[in-house]
Amino acid sequence: MGIMAFIAISMAAKPLHFAYEMQQASDCMKPESERGKIKNFMAFARISLGSNLDAIRGKLGGVVYSQSRSVATQRKRLKPRNPQTPYQTAIRANMSQYSKSWADLTDNQRNSWIAAAKTFTKKNIFGGTYNTTGNKLFVAYNMEATLNGLGSQIATYFVPTPPTTIIQGSGLTASAGAQTMIFTATNAAPTNGVCVIEATPQLSAGISNITGKFKVISRSAVAASALVIGNCASAYIAKFGPLVQGQKIWVKIYTSNNNAAGQVTKYPASAIMVCTVGA
């Protein structure tokens, strides 16, 4: 039986041609085991799509296609690292558990998630919009609730009640010599809420596109209407490694709420803080 692979292609009705310019990929594109080894560099191709294709993104066989601001590229598909850390394993187990639990819900419970999902709009890789599914919304809410320490499963969707005040980030500094990273934020956490801190890896000064680069480094309970001044360096270093002078870091802080009614949501920070690591 043949296997069909799908790839996202945006087409225009004109002739197709490809032109390739092979060049060495940057070190960050290589597998960790190959970084710094010149003989094992990965090459990628710049693609001229001609006039038949507007854009091409996704995986097809052993090739990955992507689209930057100015050019389309293709590269060899690599097997992603899978360290299977205890945290990673626990997250996957929870996701599997909630995915299976969907079948155990009543029709009314499932319908509450299906109806709610129609109000959650997302964008695909071409910028088109679509709605998530009730199953995915159910799993996502329960995953967030589990991370926040809520022990029971949320079976029916509730419209979340936002806090009266949202966390406001007001300052961020980092030092390579002292290995400290201090943030300041005013905070009004709802009952049973937790303060979630996300950060990017250390990036070079010329990088400004941080889409998809944020990772959670800390979750903790916080007092209502408190001024939070915290050194999150230990959590950051555990995730991304020691601080390096001259690199840029973005941090955002938000409240994730799960209250007695089973409401779970994220309230994004009104501002994302950024700093350059000092001496």
- More reliable by pLDDT, 42 or 249: 249
Report, as an integer, the average pLDDT of 27-52.
Answer: 53
| Segment 77-91, tens digit of pLDDT | 888 788 888 878 888
Q: Pick the more confident residue, 217 or 15.
A: 217
Mean pLDDT of 105-131: 88
Decide if pLDDT at 98 tops 80: yes
- Measure the CA–CA gap between 64 and 41, rounded to whole angstroms: 16
Percentage with pLDDT > 70 across the chain: 65
**Mean pLDDT highest for which of 18-22, 67-71, 236-240?**
236-240
pLDDT of res. 23: 38
The angle subtended at Cα 212 by Cα 40 and Cα 69, nearest 5°, is 75
b/e per residue 13-29 (b: at least 16 CB within 10 A):
eeeeeeeeeeeeeeeeb
Model pLDDT, residue 7: 47
Burial of 70 (0-12, 13-18, 19+ CB in 10 A): exposed
Q: Is the pLDDT of residue 5 over 60?
A: no
Show the domains of the chain with their CATH numbers. 8-76 (no CATH), 86-147 (no CATH), 168-276 (2.60.40)
Per the DSSP assignment, residues forming a β-bridge with 266 are 256
pLDDT at 28 over 50: no
pLDDT of residue 142: 87
